[in-house]
Structure 1
């Protein structure tokens, strides 16, 4: 999280430490779907190793097809790969599996990102607003909302979101 939010003073080292943590977890429980999903996130978002990430997500979903986080994070991977329709499908399934999750802001944030990938910018703004209503300081959500406003040519909204992001 510190890397994604721009708080890390050494992103390369932090990515390495995150990978070590998931490897230790997988050494203890190789069939833990959440551990596999988090390992997939590290491969996808931090190391840009998409084939390895996809393998971990699919293994997690084979083990537990009802693991909302595995669906959510695999959706993000598909968004990174410009598979917008698949990304939206997966994040929506994640939210259906865990509709009142305490991390609802994260589900909405990542669904917003998936919708940007799917070029549904109005829906992305709507989901970003839902996320920000639950956590108004989530930097990734603000960045996604800013991007959606840009694509919608909403200059005033874009400037307001940029100011909120700067704060």
Structure 2
């Protein structure tokens, strides 16, 4: 009887897919000079839409927190982070959730490829100009109730299904 209850109640890591984003703030590039050196900062904010397949769980899955980190797939540089707390996903369903992601990329090189890719892909979206897709990997750290108490905090990598991420 205990084995059956454990099988039904034990939380499993859901399958997650990136499905676009909404804009939170306008993109901004700032250059600060310090003598002979300078720092270039690219800032932006998005609400990342996630499709979460929770069909392998029979009861509601409770996340104490979900952290999201965006990394440039080519350079591995972290470009942004965000988190949402207290999320409930009904069991045996596919749900949509949104997570905030704040982009704060800093470089010292005006010709940094990650910076140039961000500006090319994200600064032309309002003018209906064609813009490129970004090669971004999203890491999601899932603080699942019960599993977190056992020091098990899974991190999964999700990539957009379209082959690239299009800025909102």
Higher relative contact order (CA closer than 8 Å, sequence separation 6+) = 2
TM-score by length of 2: 0.22
Give 1 or 2: higher helix fraction: 1
Structure showing the higher strand proportion among its residues: 2
Max Rg structure: 2
